Structure formats: structure tokens, C-alpha cells
């Protein structure tokens, strides 16, 4: 089965909230599937990139 992709739109506040949740999930990782942990880290980093891009464009 192929992965499905979705698009969502949200404001920077929503991006920051999701990033914070991902940071907590990575920090408080209780073990389990290492692939899931790597996916969380990648998502956290991608949301951080969005935040940095927003800050750069709105200086």
C-alpha cells in the first residue's frame, strides 16, 4: 500500500503548537518502534524549519 499525502493550512500559531507537541513527544519518548521515533524527530525538525522560515520572512 502506498503512503497517502495530505495538505493542511494553518497559521503560525498552529505550527508552533504542533512543534511544541512534537518536541515533548521526542523528549519524553518511552521507547517502542525506533522508526516511529525517527519519524517524530523528522517531523519536529520540519516544523522547526517552517518556524525559522516564517521568522526570516517577517523580520
Collapsed DSSP state (helix, strand, coil) of residue 29 = coil
Residue 3: the pLDDT is 87
> pTM for the complete prediction?
0.87
Decide if 9 contacts 48 (C-beta within 8 A).
Answer: no
pLDDT in tens, 1-59: 788 999 999 999 999 999 999 999 999 999 999 999 999 999 999 999 999 999 999 99
Residue 2: the pLDDT is 83
Amino acid at each position: 500500500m502506498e503512503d497517502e499525502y495530505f495538505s493542511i493550512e494553518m497559521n503560525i500559531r498552529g505550527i508552533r503548537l504542533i512543534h511544541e507537541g512534537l518536541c515533548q513527544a521526542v523528549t519524553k519518548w518511552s521507547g517502542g518502534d525506533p522508526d516511529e521515533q525517527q519519524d517524530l524527530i523528522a517531523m519536529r525538525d520540519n516544523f522547526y524549519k517552517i518556524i525559522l522560515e516564517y521568522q526570516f520572512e517577517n523580520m
